[in-house]
């Protein structure tokens, strides 16, 4: 399958091919929304070809990408080598997280989880893309359990999701002590309904203190800055 090279807003490059989902708005916006502390150990759950991990890259971060599909992981490994950065590309099923990573070993988790349930009628162009976008291989609940397992108490996780399924995400997170602390909705313009929601949660602690940030407008200077324009 012919490969293409995508130039990311932070100056790194990403290898892609048509079998897998290519760089999209959600990963770019989530990378700008997530706020891992300095020297944090970061896990990208279901990293695919590594777009989100590469977008969030800082030299001080210890980043691991976990992905079930070996083909996507091969592209991620090539991108790591291309950019001369230090990251870990780990092959495995997040539903078997206990066999892959130690409990409480991460400070921050980032994830672009499957948006649609398997009965939603959404079709995909390839089995690889279906795996990435529908919960045929894992559910939102599986993602929440994996994130909670690898995070220590006080650790944080950031997700991008569809607004119409926000309650599905929040309910799954609450079952495993992941408490929402920041929400931000993405809108095309001030009059349009939200097209995505960004959510950051903390493991453990009080359910009080949720911050709903001002909307992120696609037609705005901030959006252009995120894309490095």
Residue 19 pLDDT: 86
Sign of the alpha-carbon torsion through 156, 160, 164, 168:
negative
Residue 123 pLDDT: 45
Q: How many CB atoms lie within 10 A of CB 122?
A: 13
Closest CA to 166 of 115, 202, 217, 130: 115
Residue 99 pLDDT: 97
Report the phi/psi class of residue 92: left, alpha or beta, with left for phi > 0 and alpha for psi in -120 to 50.
left
- Three-class secondary structure of residue 6 per DSSP: strand
Residue 20 pLDDT: 87
Q: Are 197 and 162 in contact (CB under 8 A)?
A: yes
Between CA 146 and CA 160 the distance in angstroms is: 16
Q: What is the pLDDT of residues 65-91, one digit of tens each?
A: 999 999 999 999 999 999 999 999 999
Residue 144 pLDDT: 97
Residue 135 pLDDT: 42
Q: Are 89 and 67 in contact (CB under 8 A)?
A: yes
Indicate whether this model's pTM tops 0.75.
yes
105, two tokens? 């070993």
Instruction: Report in angstroms the alpha-carbon separations of 108 from 36, 116, 126, 175, 226.
Output: 6, 24, 31, 18, 21
- For 217, phi and psi rounded to 5 degrees? -100, 130
**Which parts of the chain have pLDDT scores under 70?**
1, 115-137
Residue 122 pLDDT: 45
229, two tokens? 């324009």
């Amino acid at each position: 399958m012919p490969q293409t090279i995508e130039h990311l807003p932070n100056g790194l490059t990403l290898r892609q091919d048509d079998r897998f989902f290519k760089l999209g708005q959600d990963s770019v916006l989530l990378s700008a929304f997530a706020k891992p502390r300095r020297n944090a150990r970061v896990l990208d759950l279901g990293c695919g070809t590594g777009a989100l991990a590469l977008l969030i890259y800082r030299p001080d971060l210890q980043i691991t990408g976990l992905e079930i599909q070996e083909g996507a992981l091969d592209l991620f490994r090539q991108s790591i080598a291309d950019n001369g950065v230090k990251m870990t590309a780990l092959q495995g099923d997040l539903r078997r997280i206990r066999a892959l990573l130690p409990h409480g070993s991460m400070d921050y988790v980032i994830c672009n989880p499957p948006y649609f349930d398997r009965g939603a009628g959404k079709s995909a162009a390839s089995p690889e893309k279906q795996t990435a976008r529908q919960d045929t291989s894992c559910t939102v609940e599986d993602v929440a359990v994996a994130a909670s397992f690898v995070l220590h108490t006080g650790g944080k996780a950031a997700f991008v999701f569809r607004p119409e399924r926000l309650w599905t995400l929040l309910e799954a997170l609450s079952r495993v002590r992941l408490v929402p602390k920041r929400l931000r909705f993405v809108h095309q313009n001030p009059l349009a309904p939200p097209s995505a929601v960004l959510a950051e949660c903390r493991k453990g602690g009080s359910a009080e203190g949720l911050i709903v940030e001002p909307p992120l407008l696609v037609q705005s200077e901030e959006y252009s800055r995120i894309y490095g324009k």
